[in-house]
């Protein structure tokens, strides 16, 4: 049975290819196999590989999972010997991480030996050789050598998705570092250049990442130094990136329902998001004075950029309401009552109709229920204004 179990990866080994470089096996301190078989992917993170190589190496079966409720210690040396027994060239691997892995089982008590054998998908092609002494403690037996010696993948790479995640995370950390060091929330980092071998080192880091700058922080190209303490001591490497000064914008701190007046607790100044796209010709608010006291004409969500398209002065004049309209020059002004034909917000120009002559005038909303005529349009108001001016000059 064990012969069938440990030769189950024969076909998978044939998919591994050799090239320049060496793969990293970062051994974990704890492992819980997903099935009844402990595989390489359960006990180690495989770095420096393409997807096919990682899958082939990761699927190599090492031993059956411990019995339910039990644990088993698998040493680094034991992993080496088991891989060598499968015909893997250890010169193409670098072993890092924990010196031993504590393996515990997720398998329920109802799992049988036959099910474990089926999971291993046995394909025996040769008899077992004598079993070597291994570096793990437990009841499991070591693997037998495969008929064919295969070299482990040597030049392995991070996936494009993993590289993108590392770049995004590093960009965010560099931005936080720059803003903290300069006390300027308008500065942010773009265009991070993370070399592939440094990305591999960063991906394997489990310690605290430290960031320093080679020169004084300023807008433009900047050289940062990343460092952390690894198993072999301090690791340090440079990274180039751009420091950019952002355009300030007023951003909602929290949700503001439609119709509510914007207060200082609702908003703050922050860099305009690089992915923001204005709608039409709307203007972005860049100072608190532009939005405080105004009304949210659409429901605002936390993180929204405030513009003159979603935040306007409150309504000061209601449609068909009686309003006070003033006209004149200098210190002498004429006031009369009129009816607003439309509603108006502070600063809006709307049409009003005088009560006596029913003349229509264009007036600007200057306060609640108050308007000022832009140009004297009605004959009656023109005459009154001229008479008052004549009296003032005598």
Q: Can you give the pLDDT at residue 266? A: 94
One-character DSSP codes across 168-200: HHHHHHHHHHHHHHHT-TTEEEEEEE--HHHHH
φ, ψ at 261 (rounded to 5°): -85, 135
Gap between the Cα atoms of 202 and 213, Å rounded:
18
Q: Can you give the pLDDT at residue 36? A: 80
Q: Can you give the pLDDT at residue 211? A: 94
Residue 82 belongs to what H/E stretch?
helix 76-85
What sign does the CA torsion over 217, 220, 223, 224 have? positive
Q: Can you give the pLDDT at residue 228? A: 87
Spatial neighbors of 306 by CB under 8 A, at least 6 apart, are 249, 250, 251, 252, 262, 267, 284, 285, 290, 291, 300
Q: In a structure prediction context, what are the per-residue pLDDT tens digits for the chain, which is 394 residues long?
A: 444 444 444 434 444 434 445 678 888 888 888 788 888 888 888 887 667 778 888 889 888 888 777 788 888 888 888 887 777 778 778 888 888 898 887 644 444 444 444 444 444 443 434 444 444 444 444 444 544 444 444 445 678 888 888 899 999 999 999 999 999 888 889 999 988 888 888 887 777 899 999 889 999 999 999 998 876 678 888 999 999 988 889 999 999 999 899 999 999 998 888 788 888 788 899 899 999 989 998 889 999 999 988 988 888 898 988 888 888 766 667 788 889 989 888 888 988 888 888 888 888 888 888 888 865 545 555 554 554 344 344 4
Gap between the Cα atoms of 358 and 361, Å rounded:
9
Per residue in 176-203, is it b (16+ CB within 10 Å) or e — as a string? ebbbeeeeebbbbbeebebeeebbbbbb
Identify whether the C-beta of residue 225 lies closer than 8 Å to the C-beta of residue 238. yes
User: What is the tens place of the pLDDT at every residue in 213-260?
Assistant: 988 999 999 999 999 887 667 888 899 999 998 888 999 999 999 989
Q: Can you give the pLDDT at residue 146? A: 47
φ, ψ at 315 (rounded to 5°): -70, 125
Identify whether the C-beta of residue 341 lies closer than 8 Å to the C-beta of residue 352. yes
Among 53, 152, 16, 50, which residue's Cα sits nearest to residue 93? 152
Q: Can you give the pLDDT at residue 375? A: 57
Gap between the Cα atoms of 364 and 350, Å rounded:
6
Q: Can you give the pLDDT at residue 225? A: 93
Q: Can you give the pLDDT at residue 197? A: 83
Q: Please, what are the domains in the chain?
A: 2-151 (no CATH), 160-245 (no CATH), 315-393 (2.30.30.760)
Q: Can you give the pLDDT at residue 242? A: 94
């Amino acid at each position: 049975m064990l012969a069938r179990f440990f030769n189950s990866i024969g076909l998978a080994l044939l998919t591994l290819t050799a090239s320049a470089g060496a793969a990293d096996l970062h051994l974990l301190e704890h492992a819980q196999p997903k099935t009844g078989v402990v595989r390489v992917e359960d006990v180690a993170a495989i770095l420096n590989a393409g997807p096919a190589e990682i899958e082939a190496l990761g699927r190599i079966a090492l031993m059956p999972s411990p019995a339910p409720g039990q644990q088993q210690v698998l040493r680094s040396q034991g992993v080496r010997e088991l891989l060598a027994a499968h015909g893997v060239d250890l010169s193409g691997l670098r072993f890092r991480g924990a010196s031993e892995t504590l393996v515990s089982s997720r398998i329920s008590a109802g799992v049988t030996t036959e099910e474990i054998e089926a999971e291993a998908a046995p394909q025996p092609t040769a008899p077992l050789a004598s079993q070597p002494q291994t570096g793990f403690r437990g009841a499991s037996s070591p693997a037998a050598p495969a008929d064919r010696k295969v070299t482990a993948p040597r030049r392995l790479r991070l996936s494009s998705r993993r590289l993108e995640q590392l770049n995004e995370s590093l960009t965010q950390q560099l931005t936080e570092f720059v803003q903290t060091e300069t006390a300027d929330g308008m500065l942010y980092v773009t265009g991070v250049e993370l070399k592939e071998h440094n990305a591999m080192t960063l991906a394997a880091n489990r310690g605290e990442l430290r960031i320093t700058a080679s020169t004084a922080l300023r807008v433009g190209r900047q050289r940062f130094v990343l460092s952390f303490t690894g198993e072999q001591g301090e690791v340090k490497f440079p990274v180039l990136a751009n420091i950019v000064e952002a355009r300030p914008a007023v951003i909602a701190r929290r949700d503001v329902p439609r119709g509510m007046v914007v207060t200082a607790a609702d908003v703050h100044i922050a860099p305009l998001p690089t992915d923001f796209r204005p709608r039409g010709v709307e203007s972005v608010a860049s100072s608190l004075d532009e939005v405080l006291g105004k009304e949210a004409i659409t429901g605002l969500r936390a993180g929204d950029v405030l513009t003159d398209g979603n935040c306007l002065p409150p309504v000061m004049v209601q449609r068909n309401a009686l309003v006070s309209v003033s006209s004149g020059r200098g210190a002498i002004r004429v006031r009369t009552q009129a009816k607003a034909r439309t509603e108006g917000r502070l600063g809006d120009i709307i049409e009003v109709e005088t009560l006596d002559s029913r003349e229509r005038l264009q007036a600007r909303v200057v306060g609640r229920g108050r308007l000022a005529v832009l140009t004297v349009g009605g004959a009656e108001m023109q005459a009154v204004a001229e008479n008052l001016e004549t009296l003032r000059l005598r």
